[in-house]
Chain A
Amino acid sequence: MTDPLLTIRDLRIEGRQDRGWTPIVKGVDLELKRGEILGLIGESGAGKSTLGLAAMGYARDGTRISGGSITFDGQELMALSERRRRGLRGRRIAYVAQSAAANFNPAHRLIRQFAESPTEIHRIKGRDETEAEGRALYARMRLPNPGEIGFRYPHQVSGGQLQRAMTAMAMSCRPDLIIFDEPTTALDVTTQIEVLAAIRDAVREFGTSAIYITHDLAVVAQMADRIKILRHGEEVEEQPTRAMLAAPREEYSKSLWAVRSHEAAPRPAPVADETPVLRLSKVSAEYVRGTRVLRDVSFDIPKGRTVAVVGESGSGKSTTARVLTGLLPLSTGRVELDGAPLPDRLAGRSKDQLRQIQMIYQMADTALNPKQTIREIIGRPLRFYLGLRGAAQEARIRELLTAIELDPDSYIDRLPGALSGGQKQRIGIARALAAEPRLIVCDEVTSALDQLVADGILRLLRRLQEERGLSYMFITHDLATVRAIADHVVVMQGGEVVEQGPRDEMFAPPHHPYTETLLASVPQMDADWLDHALARREGR
């Protein structure tokens, strides 16, 4: 039993690019004992998911394992036939993916999918026995109504519940090893904490080994016994969790740590009698007549300041943005731009009013037209709003690219597909800036980015704000982002504003109970945080 469960030596994986192969994982070693949890951290493109899949002896389409050895429980996976490897997957090594919603089959009930692996694929158990075990596992994963929930379809349960059901499904054959690939990244903080606790307890209970892949340091600190940091397909360093948190050795690891504690200096409050750039007064809105998704929302966005709108999904923060951009007409209340009422429908607004409010999106991938070059993307608002053409337009595009810290000569003719996520988001910012707006609505602009890249974007936004006197409405569920950028915080729940005030007041007690829950759910860089947070919850 002292033998390691999984040993990976000098693993090399390559990905197909055009007609050649480029290395993705460049000689990584890994060792995992029975019952141990290893955290894998790294930015996107670091090769962590590829490495996680390789632990099952699996290479995604377009990739191949080109060298090294993977030994699982004494067997060399690379030497086994694909058929034998398939026999191990699901039964002895299981996988939990990031998006449970995309990985469940929407046409089958949860319990049927739970039972598929043990009864139909590996045929090691009977159906009744498996379904009884399923109910027990659902109870252990603290799913509400464990006896009944299995009979629901995936779309009938919430995202957090689905992620727990997926973990239960991975455990259906009692595997020795589970690979978790960012299982909580897509969840709200308040849901994430429940899923984390459920996963950790279940894994501990059965003595399952696990590889936990994430880009969130604070999350991995709760889950893992050891942490390995990857970058560009190579190992940066590996240490036991507590040692790693206390003293990262490498420069790169230290830079990851520094980002977490970034905080903006407080700025003086805006002049009280100055007209705010945007004022929402008692705004209500509905998608379907009679069911209000926003109720009496009121707040101001002062000139040159950032207002963060915080809340879980479904709290109405994105709906608020839709109302003020004119995509969703409001049913009562009013929106004022610079003291003048703003027509509530998009079609009723003048070109100049449209120009004043610009938007930056969460998914930079879908926010830029893949068939337009950077020149066309940034040039269009310049021509549309300001009538710039030819040389004047070209000069302004270059000026904007310089402002967002991209070299005009090498980027102006590219298509969005040839940019990284962070660069795409910068182009989104440049497109918004091109209109010379007063207010920019930022909808979760950093949540799809790696921490270091996100930090760069926040710094850029802040610099642009100071240079150009812009106002931001920052929609986010990440309180670390709020700390880094906001002057004023609006907390929303169920379509209503529950609390608002200057940032420092909001982060200091006393809190509204909901704000308290939100704050307490944000993972901290402390290996004991989850235990403490759960204890506090129980206590209440």
Chain B
Amino acid sequence: MTLTDIKTAPPTALFGIAVIALYILVALFAPLIAPFGETEIVGMEFEPWSGAYPLGTDNLGRDVVSRLIWGTRNSLGIALATTVLAFGAGAGLGLLAAVTGGWIDQLLSRLVDMLIAIPALLFALLLLSIYGTGIVNLVIVIAVIEATRVFRLARAVAMDVVVMDYVEAARLRGEGLGWLMRREILPNAAAPLIAEFGLRFCFVFLAISALSFLGLGIQPPTADLGSMVRDNAALITFGDITPLLPAAAIALLTVAINFVVDWVLHRASGLKD
């Protein structure tokens, strides 16, 4: 994707790119932007919106704006790490299964079928209650679950590429597995995988938020968007929309990513070729 591509992008994609860029900036420069520290108690509980605390304070008297900024940083960082891990494992094994075929393919595919058969959220809850909560466990558990979905897509896309004559030509040349996967197949399977990366990122983000909401995700006092909704949920009964703001932040990012993904998919569907 080059600069000229971005120039021809539709307005929805441009909007998406702008929003994503904003989130990344906020995440990177959180310590500079946030008016208060992540866990700093600055006032009374549930203070209303005011000049000093633009969005008020939360159930422990922490500044909501600062919590939102830190929460974005934490949730985004963890989601990104999880997605990268899920893609590394899922796409790598998917390509391997497609290229080698035979029993390796059977073994990997059946294993993935087995994991997919278990409902994702239940599976995550189960694993987290066995191995304990914690950021590392959280990342690994969600990555394993998401990797199964990535595996299926990567294998299916790679299957279409494997039958091409240029892959046969490379095999006849005597090229090894690494070359076949990295140089012949991956570049031709990249477009749908990139689009999938965006979607998976959304799902991971939502999964982490959901687990945090249930209390099994990121543990207090660390700020994250999911647990912020839960902590302040009581305010909703008083007609205050503050607890919905972190939820809105999640929704906005999800929508923005989907706009960009739609555009990438549209380009990859070959309308330009």
Contacts of A435 in B (CB 8 A): 173
Given the known inter-chain contacts A354-B174, A384-B173, A384-B174, please indicate yes or no for A327 contacting B168, CB distance below 8 A.
Answer: yes
Contacts of A380 in B (CB 8 A): 173
Instruction: List B residues 141-199 near A (Cβ within 8 Å).
Output: 164-166, 168-169, 171-175, 183-184, 187-188
A325 at the interface (CB under 8 A from B): yes
Out of B164, B173, B174, which one reaches A366, CB within 8 Å? B164
Out of A351, A361, A370, A385, which one reaches B169, CB within 8 Å? A361
Q: Please count how many residues in chain B sit with their CB below 8 Å of the partner chain's CB atoms.
A: 15
CB distance from A421 to the nearest CB of B (A): 14
Instruction: List A residues 174-208 near B (Cβ within 8 Å).
Output: none
Contacts of A366 in B (CB 8 A): 164-166
With the chains together, A55 CA to B164 CA distance in Å?
36
Contacts of A372 in B (CB 8 A): 183, 187
List the count of A-B residue pairs having beta carbons below 8 Å apart.
Answer: 46
CB distance from A366 to the nearest CB of B (A): 5
Contact status B169-A359, CB under 8 Å: yes
B273 at the interface (CB under 8 A from A): yes
A48 at the interface (CB under 8 A from B): no
CB distance from A464 to the nearest CB of B (A): 18
CB distance from B215 to the nearest CB of A (A): 46
Contacts of B175 in A (CB 8 A): 384
Contact status B166-A368, CB under 8 Å: yes
Minimal Cβ-Cβ distance residue in A for B271: A62
Minimal Cβ-Cβ distance residue in B for A358: B172
Minimal Cβ-Cβ distance residue in B for A361: B165
A53 at the interface (CB under 8 A from B): no
With the chains together, A370 CA to B191 CA distance in Å?
13
A431 at the interface (CB under 8 A from B): yes
Minimal Cβ-Cβ distance residue in B for A371: B187
Minimal Cβ-Cβ distance residue in B for A416: B166
CB distance from B161 to the nearest CB of A (A): 9
CB distance from A166 to the nearest CB of B (A): 26
Instruction: List A residues 141-195 near B (Cβ within 8 Å).
Output: none
A326 at the interface (CB under 8 A from B): yes
Instruction: List B residues 110-160 near A (Cβ within 8 Å).
Output: none
6 A-B pairs closest in CB distance: A371-B187, A367-B165, A369-B166, A361-B165, A354-B174, A366-B165
By a beta-carbon cutoff of 8 Å, the part of chain B in contact with chain A is: 164-166, 168-169, 171-175, 183-184, 187-188, 273
Please name 12 further chain A to chain B contacts, defined as beta carbons within 8 Å, in addition to the given A359-B169, A371-B187, A385-B173, sorted by A numbering.
Answer: A327-B172, A346-B174, A354-B172, A354-B174, A361-B165, A367-B169, A369-B164, A369-B166, A372-B183, A372-B187, A380-B173, A431-B169
